[in-house]
Homo-oligomer: A and B are copies of this chain.
Amino acid sequence: MSQAGTASKQAGRAREAQRVFGALDTEVRTAALRNLERLLEEREDDLLAANQKDLDDPGAADLPGPILKRLALSPSKLETLREGVRILVGSADPIGRPLVRRELDDGLILEQVRVPIGVLLIVFESRPDAVIQIGSLAIRTGNAILMKGGSEARHSNQALTDLLREAIAAAYAPADVVQNIEGRQAVADLLSLDEHIDLVIPRGSAQLVRDIKAASRIPVLGHSDGICHVYIDADADPEMAVRVALDSKTNYAAVCNAAETLLLDRRFPQGGAVIQALLNAGVEVRGGPDISALAEGVTPAQPSDFGQEYGDFTIAARVVENLDEAIAHIHTYGSAHTDTIVTNNGETAKRFLETVDSSSVFWNASTRFADGFRYGLGAEVGIATGRVHARGPMGAEGLYTTKWLLTGNGHVVGDYGPGKRSFTHQDLAVS
């Protein structure tokens, strides 16, 4: 059978399995999660052995240090995964819960209820822990997932996928809601199957996300770039300006919510102190003559420095004339991820919060707070910078959609209209 046929068959099995799985009682999905927690403990040696095969692969020696570190499983990483599964065991299952209950007429009751989205394609790089994190979230939310991890983690991913499937089957539920996808071609095939796949979630580099978005008409949830700005307004508290700029850039520079550009209002008198603090922290500051004039050691900026995601201890800096120029800069070069203003002026802050068109907009707080855990969303699915379905840090909430249920007693539309029955449209309490 052709590759395309295989991928399509896998997707078809996922659809069928999900339709059963999503309609099961919540206790079944909870039982599968409990089984998973138990199996993660019982099979620890097997999992570590599978992971060792990946680490022993001749190709692994060529992997960069940070990638190799992410590839390696350990008893403590497995304990963290079990802890995550335990939290999901105890978390609410909103499937079937009404969001709207409305009487349309006597005896004609409309409900809008939550249901799983359906079949998700997850493409991720390297980190095998993601199999359990994403897999357990899929079990909780009643979705099916097709997972494609990096080939350098293939033994680990296969062992962890098998564990998920065993946990589901042991709860008398269809194991095909979790499937491992093999090979790049299979992913390419699946990205074209918009009838079979409802949502694609890429977790990895900006390039991975861009490639997937370019290759598929299926909705993609996530973000490619995290080009976050810190704007120091004329009325900023100088000490706070330094704190927020430093934390936004240096707390964890490799991640998407770290700042990449500093915008200094020309009327802010302490711009030099902010630049100096960044330089002192070991940050390369790239700027034009306006910035160079503020401190020694500024690197000349190129036009391409704005709108670039460094992901390291580098920041672009620019002097702006006022709030409007700051906002225009953010809209031109930003990626709608997270932008923050430092100011003591409430009016200025209000305009910034209302006008900046990003998924997270902050006032007097570090860009690094943009994160599902910090927002209190529980398990994090990702951060979406698009404008439909979900936006910003996204918890399990992003894995549900709704359907409408209408219950009547033989009601027909022909009975309604001018001179006939009319609708009551009475909202009812949601249980």
Q: Which residues of A contact B (CB under 8 A)?
A: 19, 23, 96, 102, 104, 108, 110, 112, 117-118, 194, 198-199, 213-214, 216-217, 219, 221, 237, 239-240, 243-244, 246-248, 251-252, 331, 342, 349, 351, 353-355, 357-366, 368-370, 374-376, 386-389, 391-393, 401-414, 416, 423, 425
Contacts and interface: CB of A to CB of B under 8 A. Distances in A.
Contacts of A214: 217
B369 A406 contact: yes
A108 B404 contact: no
A366 B19 contact: no
A112 B377 CA distance: 12
Nearest to A410: B240
A102 B193 CA distance: 39
Q: Give 5 closest A-B pairs by Cβ, nearest first.
A: A365-B408, A247-B412, A368-B413, A240-B410, A376-B425
B392 A389 contact: no
Contacts of A194: 213
19 contacts: A23-B351, A23-B354, A104-B376, A108-B365, A110-B375, A117-B387, A117-B388, A118-B357, A198-B388, A219-B389, A239-B410, A246-B412, A360-B406, A362-B405, A366-B412, A366-B414, A376-B423, A389-B389, A392-B404
A144 to B, nearest CB: 12
Given A102-B375, A375-B102, A388-B117, A413 B364 contact: no
A355 B425 CA distance: 26
A363 B23 contact: no
Nearest to A194: B213
Given A19-B357, A102-B375, A354-B23, A401 B406 contact: no
A401 B392 CA distance: 10
A19 B411 contact: no
Nearest to A216: B217
A402 B411 contact: no
Contacts of A374: 104, 413, 416, 423
A217 to B, nearest CB: 6
Q: Which of A198, A243, A357 has the most CB of B within 10 A?
A: A357
B375 A407 contact: no
A409 B360 CA distance: 17
Contact of A404 (B221, B240, B331, B370): B370
A392 B402 contact: yes
B365 A244 contact: no
Given A118-B357, A247-B414, 13 more contacts: A104-B369, A198-B387, A213-B217, A217-B217, A243-B410, A243-B412, A349-B407, A360-B404, A363-B405, A364-B409, A364-B410, A366-B413, A369-B408
Nearest to A393: B404
Given A354-B96, A403-B392, A411 B376 contact: no
Contacts of A248: 412
A413 B104 contact: no
Contacts of A240: 409-410
A114 to B, nearest CB: 11
B23 A407 contact: no
A138 to B, nearest CB: 15
A388 B104 contact: no
A209 B357 CA distance: 29
B244 A403 contact: no
A228 to B, nearest CB: 13
Nearest to A352: B405
Contacts of A389: 219, 388-389
